Amino acid sequence: MRRLAALAITTGLAWLLVVRLGTEPAGSAALALGFALVAASIVGWLFEFLRLPRVTGYLAFGLICGPYVANIITEPMARDLRAAGGFAIALIAFIAGLHVQLRRAVPPLTKVALLAAITLIIAWSGFAAALYLTWPWLPIGPDLVGFQRLAAVVLTATVLVGVSPTVTVAVIAESRASGVLARLATATVVLVELGVIILFAIGLEGARLAFGSSGRDGWTIAASTAWTIIGSLSFGALLGALFTLYVRFIGREVTIVLLALCALVAGLGPQL
Partner 1 sequence: MIPTRDVRGRELGGPDPLDRRLGTASPSPLTWLLSLLRTRSALGLAPSLTPAVIFLPLGALLGPGGLDLLSPRVLGRLDMAVTIALAVLGVLVGTALGRQIRTAYRLLIAASLESAVTTVAVTGATVYFVRATGLPLDAPVVAFALALGLCASASSATSADPDSEPVAAVATRVADLDDVLPIVLATVAFAVLPPVSASAGWMFALAPIAIGLAVGTIGWLLFERAESAAERVVFVLGALALAGGAAAYVRVSPLAVGLVAGLFWTVAPGRADRIVQDDLKRVQHPLVVLLLVTAGALWTPSAASLWLLAPYLLFRLAGKVVGAWATAGFLEVRAGDLAAFLMSPGVLAVAFALNFRQMLPPAAGETLVSTVAAGTAAFELFALAVVPHWRRRRQ
Q: Give me the residues that bind partner 1 (CB under 8 A), please.
A: 2-3, 5-6, 9-10, 13-14, 17-18, 21-22, 24, 26-38, 41-42, 45, 80, 83-84, 247-256, 258-259, 267
CB-neighbour burial class of residue 46 (10 A; exposed 0-12, middle 13-18, buried 19+): middle
Q: Residue 206 is which amino acid?
A: G
Q: Which is nearer to partner 1, 88 or 197 (CB)?
A: 88
Q: Cβ atoms within 10 A of the Cβ of 147, count? A: 13
The nearest distance, CB 259 to partner 1, in angstroms, is 5
The nearest distance, CB 22 to partner 1, in angstroms, is 6
Q: Which is nearer to partner 1, 140 or 242 (CB)?
A: 242
The nearest distance, CB 24 to partner 1, in angstroms, is 5
Q: Which is nearer to partner 1, 8 or 159 (CB)?
A: 8
Q: CA-CA distance, 110 to 136, in Å (whole number)?
A: 40
Closest CA to 268 of 214, 241, 231, 242: 231
Element spanning 64, H or E: helix 54-65
Q: Which is nearer to partner 1, 32 or 157 (CB)?
A: 32
Residues 6+ apart with CB under 8 A from 264: 239
Q: Which is nearer to partner 1, 132 or 246 (CB)?
A: 246
Q: Which is nearer to partner 1, 58 or 200 (CB)?
A: 58
| CA-atom Rg of the chain in angstroms | 22
The nearest distance, CB 243 to partner 1, in angstroms, is 12
Residues 6+ apart with CB under 8 A from 140: 152, 156
Q: CA-CA distance, 83 to 85, in Å (whole number)?
A: 5
Q: Would you call 71 helix, strand, or coil by DSSP?
A: coil
The nearest distance, CB 236 to partner 1, in angstroms, is 20
Q: CA-CA distance, 174 to 54, in Å (whole number)?
A: 8
The nearest distance, CB 271 to partner 1, in angstroms, is 12
Q: Which is nearer to partner 1, 80 or 193 (CB)?
A: 80
Q: Would you call 172 helix, strand, or coil by DSSP?
A: helix
Residues 6+ apart with CB under 8 A from 147: 210
